[in-house]
Amino acid sequence: MVRIKHRYLLVNILYPDAKYSPLRPAATAGDDIPYTVQFRRPSPDQMNGGLLMRLIRDGVVELFGDYGSGKIAGSLQVKYFSSATSTAIIRVSREHYRLVWSALTLTTRLPRPVDQPCVIQVVRVSGTIRKAEEEAIRRARLSIRRAEAAAKSSSVSIAGTIPTASTAAAAGDDDFDMINGIEDPDELGDLDDDDDG
Amino acid sequence: MAPLRPPPPLNNSKKRKEAPTNSQPNAPKRHKPTDHGQKTRDARTLSTQTTSKAFKNGELDVSAFVKSRAFEITALEEGMARSKKALNRRAFQQVPKELRRRTASHNVKRVPKRLRERGKREMADDNTPTVTARRRKPTAHMRLRLETVKKLRALGAKRNAGKDRVKPPVADPNGAAPKNPADSAPDQQQPVKTLAAIKARTPKVKQSLLATPPLPKAKFRKRQIHKSWLPTHLFHAKRARMTAPSASLWRFSIPLTPTAKSYRPTHRASHARGAVAWDMSYISTLQVEGREASLIGMLKALGVDEEELVGRQGGKWRQGRRVLEKFVFEREAPHDPIAPVTMMWCRDPAEQSAGTVEMEKRKRKLLLRVHPSAFYQLWEELLRLAKVAKPAVSVEDLRFEIGSLEITGPGGTEALLSALWPSHPIPGPLAKGDTAPTAMDIDSGSSNKNTVVEETWSALAGLTNPAVLPKNALLSFNVQDPRLHHPPRTIKLPRTETEQHKLLELIASWPVDTVQQHPELFDRKARQAASAKMPSQKAVNRRKGLAAPGEYPEPLPNDPQIPVLLYTTAPTNPDRGAPGRQSPKAGSWTLLVPWKCLQPIWYSLMYYPLSTGQQPRFGGLDQYRQSSFEAGKAWFPGDYPGTKAGWEWEYAERRKREAEWRKRPKGKRVNYKKVEVGEGGRGEVGVGWGCDWERLVGGPPVSHEGVEAAADAEKSGKSGDKSAKGVKTKAQEESQEPPQQAPPKLPHLTQLPARQALALLATPPTTTIKLPPHIHLPSALITIRLTLLTRGVPQPCARIYRLPSSTANPELRRQWLALLSSNTRNHTQKHGGKHAHPRNLPKTGHGLPQHVVQQRLAQSLLEPARAGEETYPACPGEEDLVGFVTTGSYDLAAGFGTGIGSLLVERVMGREEAGERHLCVVRNSGTGVARLGRWEVI
């Protein structure tokens, strides 16, 4: 039996410009919020799956015209979007996922009701939603660990010591684990000559 | 992905869905289609958290950050688990359809072994309440029975103890010790020996008396008061839908259809791969005994053609090498048709040696098999004939003495071969696994003459179609108890070409004809001996236990020798199937055995692992009808409304359909009053739920009541004036009453045999036909097979019309013939079936050159009309009604709808014109669209 095959893109949205952020730093902590936490800001409440969908569609139309939008229209779906963590899982047909990926990569600003500068990272491309979910979990775990470590170290540094080597080493590991754009290799027979982007 | 979607319930604590809360009271109550994907979709939705919820007061801090990530992790993990569970199927759901068991959901032993571990785990996970018979609390009813059993046991024990005490006055000082069985055994045997010395008179066999069903076990006796069970009743009752207890069929409890879906599997098993078997023990068997001449005279009196009986044609049959199936008629004046009867002679042991005079004088036996619905009619007829026959003929009812089964399909021979092990040990493929004996071996007498039949039988391995054997060939020999070889193993089939050649040679030479012994099945003593000697299952098991591992137990000299008689039946019609395609003409085996020996044979058949995989299927009555329909054969009694049995069957069917129709609400059933029957007429011809032969023969009611006919039917209580409506009203009145006897058959309605029908149809209309004086031509029916030439599927009760005559309605006739010219089944099939026509012609020439548009237009004009279009011809009027379809449906063998029906021969005689041989118009009951068809006599 023929199965319709998809690709699932695990996506993170980053907000480089802090002044648009919906949240202000906690009053008590002041400047002590660690960088890892500031880097992965939550999205504003208006940002949701539908808006993300629109963003992708507009981006694909802009880049690839009617051809591209027609190709992805049938299969594009936002499977998961959590604004608190700015994580999304997007499904698209296997032949055309690069159109979506490029549209995401070239996005610099979220559309109208939000209207913020942003950077969208495709961190993982997988053939099953399960793998995408697992990757999201792994990353969430990592960032929890990092945030906790950073918070501890900052509290320690407030006390007057320099960051220890161990936390630095952990940060190094994290960097290795946070490589973006990991792609599932295609199966041997699946390679096709479509020049879809 | 609504941001505020609440997470779906994690575990379904509620079993029932709540009523929708947002339904307005005035909203139109429209049934919403069930959304089967909803469950999956729910399971796959992941719960999310919005920013404002995650970060209280709009502040960004580490703990909120960590919490939001933690929420995400749990949401994703839960989502994965949930979607996995939603797709998950329990172990017992994954077995193929035929292995599913209801109990498998709570009894892990019902699940195939490879899934059992998983099933066990799932049941433990699910906390499934598993119950074993041992631990089940008996129901109230069961408890009562158990108590009774306990009481009876106590009583019995007391009685036995009393008996023991009376016999030997045991003086045991230790009290009532258990008696030594070794002591008492000789005591008890003594009187038995003396009794054996007195020879009891062998009971005289009462002839000309109806047989009584065998006395069932006490446990089952109450259930067989008004009916009898087939020998395989217990097998079927577990696996098939049986006739209702109140409405037994022909005084038998007969399996109607297997519980599992089986329409297409039955077709496949009987035509392509596998085998289908039926327990046909309900077919009645009769034996007549007397001199050959008087028996043949008797058959002649029953209306069997003389040349079939006495000429060269019937030679082999008379010698007992072949069977003969013929339709018999009553002897007295209207010569009503009775039923098709299968006849076989008992072959005489000393045929060659006896002189001619002796040959004439000796008594011979003839076995007759007839459908139970016509049994009494034939029985009485035979008794009457036996009284007047000289020299005397005796008639014996063997109904519950001989059982039978039928098996068809490519694997049928193979399955039978494994079940029937000849009693004489022979060096065949079954016994030793050597090469099969060749025809040469068998012919040349290298083997013992006594075992030729057995050897031939064993050499038939590899035969896939019994129809290639000599037509109606007959085999008879003795077989061993099949339980000794249970469970059956796949037999060795010929693989090499030489072996196949040997088989072909054997079939061509057919050595059985010359050496067939006296079939012991005709011997009452042999039958009874075989039945009586059948060992108990316990004894069989003991013998099997003693045999070496992997070996079957050795045959013993006092094993039962079950006499069997086997014959083949081949479909009669050579030109069967779709035009241009040779359809398989599958033959079938019929096996006759003593009634009590059938059940073990049946079990061996049913559990035989076929060489092509799977096991033989079993069929019910519906499957039998289906198989004869697909073979293009008429089924007795349903397709013979001219016989008494057929008339009763039709009446019962009519009542059933009527009840079905009445059960439905008015808006959802066909309104027979309003059916357009062509020519602007409305109202179904006759009763819509039956083949209204009364109306066909008697013509429409006197006053103009064609429209009201259906109305009367609907107003059930109203009977109206009987004189005007005649027979039909009477039938309706009766239909209101509880089940009872069918009204008597129309006085002259009769069924003509095919040969007579063909002769009648062949006579040119100008010559006067000389008929036997008893045949009342206006009510003589012929059985036909029907194929539709354009589209459509004939249903039972469909009306068959002839084409309107060229004088009365030339226009309608021309329209119907126009359909024939190009739109026949052949034509459409060549072009890919029903979607072949270029129907989507452009109305205006959008971007097409003018000439193409014109061409298409012309083509569309030439194309015949299709149903539903204005130009499609209407159904002919009632004056052109000629008959009804008795069986009709989509025919899997032919690949399109066909039917079997009956026509009034007088109405189709002399109506043929050149090139329109046997054309007719068929309209299903309750519909307005008629279809063009072609019929042929069968």
Which residue of B46, B54, B76 is in closest CB contact with A42?
B54
* Alpha-carbon span B407 to B589, nearest angstrom: 5
Q: How confident is the model at residue B674 (pLDDT cuts 50, 70, 90)?
A: confident
- The nearest CA of chain A is from the CA of B58 a distance in Å of 5
- The nearest CA of chain B is from the CA of A195 a distance in Å of 32
Question: B73 to chain A: nearest residue by CA?
Answer: A137
ipTM for the predicted complex: 0.87
For residue B355, pLDDT over 90 is answered with no
pLDDT at A67: 94
Number of CB pairs < 8 Å for A and B? 109
Q: Do A25 and B61 touch (CB under 8 A)?
A: yes
What are the pLDDT digits (tens) for B799-818?
Answer: 999 888 888 888 888 888 88
For residue B722, pLDDT over 60 is answered with no
For residue B362, pLDDT over 70 is answered with yes
Q: Do A21 and B68 touch (CB under 8 A)?
A: no
* Alpha-carbon span B406 to B85, nearest angstrom: 48
- The nearest CA of chain A is from the CA of B48 a distance in Å of 5
pTM above 0.90, yes or no: no
Average pLDDT of the residues in B715-722? 39
Tokens found for residue B56: 């209280």
Q: Say if residue B584 is preceded by a cis peptide, omega within 30 of 0.
A: no
* Alpha-carbon span A183 to A7, nearest angstrom: 10
Neighbouring C-beta atoms of residue B663, cutoff 10 Å: 9
pLDDT at B649: 93
- The nearest CA of chain A is from the CA of B5 a distance in Å of 11
What are the angstrom distances between the C-alpha of A31 and each of A158, A162, B52, B228? 12, 17, 21, 96
- The nearest CA of chain B is from the CA of A15 a distance in Å of 14
Residues of chain A with Cβ-Cβ distance to B50 below 8 Å are 45, 83-84
* Alpha-carbon span A67 to A65, nearest angstrom: 5
For residue B63, pLDDT over 80 is answered with yes
Average pLDDT of the residues in B489-493? 92
For residue B473, the 8-state DSSP code is B
For residue B487, pLDDT over 60 is answered with yes
For residue B86, the 8-state DSSP code is H
If we measure between CA atoms, which residue out of B721, B715, B717 comes closest to residue B672? B715
* Alpha-carbon span B190 to B601, nearest angstrom: 38
Average pLDDT, chain B: 80
Q: What is the DSSP string of B30-84?
A: -PPPP-TTHHHHHHHPPP---HHHHSGGGEE-HHHHHHHHHHHHHHHHHHHHHHH
- The nearest CA of chain A is from the CA of B85 a distance in Å of 13
pLDDT at B54: 86
Average pLDDT of the residues in A160-172? 45
pLDDT at B768: 63
Residues of chain A with Cβ-Cβ distance to B51 below 8 Å are 22-23, 42-45, 83-84
The amino acid at B290: G
pLDDT at B577: 42
B547 versus B809: the higher-pLDDT residue is B547
| Residues of chain A in Cβ contact (below 8 Å) with chain B | 21-27, 29, 33-34, 37-38, 40-45, 48-50, 78-85, 87, 130, 133-134, 136-137, 140-141, 143-144, 147-148, 150-151
Q: Do A81 and B55 touch (CB under 8 A)?
A: no
For residue B214, pLDDT over 80 is answered with yes
- The nearest CA of chain B is from the CA of A137 a distance in Å of 5
Q: Say if residue B391 is preceded by a cis peptide, omega within 30 of 0.
A: yes
For residue B575, pLDDT over 70 is answered with no
Tokens found for residue B116: 């059992």
Interface probe with B: pick from A80, A86, A154, most Cβ of B within 10 Å: A80
Tokens found for residue B652: 């019962």
Which residue of A22, A23, A144 is in closest CB contact with B69?
A144
| Residues of chain B in Cβ contact (below 8 Å) with chain A | 1-3, 46, 48-55, 58-62, 65-66, 68-73, 75-77, 79-80
What are the pLDDT digits (tens) for B580-616?
Answer: 344 557 889 999 999 999 999 999 999 999 999 889 9
Q: What is the DSSP string of B402-465?
A: EEEEEEESTTHHHHHHHH--BSS--SSTTTT--PPPPHHHHHHT-S-GGGHHHHHHHTTTT---
What are the pLDDT digits (tens) for B845-854?
Answer: 566 778 877 7
Evaluate whether B274 touches B617 at the Cβ level (below 8 Å).
Answer: yes
The structural domains of chain B, ordered by start, are 284-397 (3.30.70.1400), 402-571+587-630 (no CATH), 656-700+750-837+866-938 (2.40.30.110)
Evaluate whether B172 touches B180 at the Cβ level (below 8 Å).
Answer: no
Q: How confident is the model at residue B570 (pLDDT cuts 50, 70, 90)?
A: confident
Evaluate whether B213 touches B400 at the Cβ level (below 8 Å).
Answer: yes
Which residue of B3, B54, B69 is in closest CB contact with A143?
B69
Average pLDDT of the residues in B875-880? 87
What are the pLDDT digits (tens) for B881-896?
Answer: 999 999 999 999 888 8
Q: Do B69 and A42 touch (CB under 8 A)?
A: no
Which residue of B66, B68, B79 is in closest CB contact with A42?
B68
Q: For chain A, give the longest Cα–Cα distance.
A: 66
- The nearest CA of chain B is from the CA of A146 a distance in Å of 10
Residues of chain B with Cβ-Cβ distance to A84 below 8 Å are 48-51, 53-55, 68, 71-72
Evaluate whether B644 touches B329 at the Cβ level (below 8 Å).
Answer: no
Average pLDDT of the residues in B342-359? 74
* Alpha-carbon span A59 to A106, nearest angstrom: 8
Evaluate whether B636 touches B340 at the Cβ level (below 8 Å).
Answer: yes
Read off φ and ψ for residue B325, nearest 5 degrees.
Answer: -115, 125
Q: Do A80 and B80 touch (CB under 8 A)?
A: no
Which CATH number fits the domain A6-190, given the four candidates 2.40.50.1040, 3.40.50.300, 3.30.70.3250, 2.60.120.10?
3.30.70.3250
What are the pLDDT digits (tens) for A64-112?
Answer: 999 999 999 999 999 999 999 999 999 999 999 999 999 999 999 998 8
Percent of all residues in chain B with a pLDDT value above 70, rounded to a whole number: 79
Question: B80 to chain A: nearest residue by CA?
Answer: A130
Least reliable range by pLDDT among B31-35, B148-152, B289-293, B921-925: B31-35
Residues of chain B with Cβ-Cβ distance to A44 below 8 Å are 51
pLDDT at A157: 58
- The full set of domain ranges for chain A reads 6-190
Q: Do A24 and B58 touch (CB under 8 A)?
A: yes
Least reliable range by pLDDT among A123-137, A176-190, B77-91: A176-190
For residue B373, pLDDT over 60 is answered with yes
Q: Do B48 and A34 touch (CB under 8 A)?
A: no
Tokens found for residue B528: 């009874």
Q: How confident is the model at residue B30 (pLDDT cuts 50, 70, 90)?
A: low
Average pLDDT of the residues in A38-58? 91
* Alpha-carbon span B915 to B904, nearest angstrom: 22
What are the pLDDT digits (tens) for B215-271?
Answer: 999 889 988 988 999 999 999 999 999 999 888 999 999 999 999 889 999 999 999
For residue B878, pLDDT over 90 is answered with no
Interface probe with A: pick from B55, B60, B78, B83, most Cβ of A within 10 Å: B60
Q: Do B65 and A49 touch (CB under 8 A)?
A: no
Q: Do B70 and A27 touch (CB under 8 A)?
A: no
Average pLDDT of the residues in A156-184? 56
Q: What is the DSSP string of B916-929?
A: -TTEEEEE-TT-S-
With 0-12 CB in 10 A as exposed, 13-18 as middle and 19+ as buried, what is B87? exposed
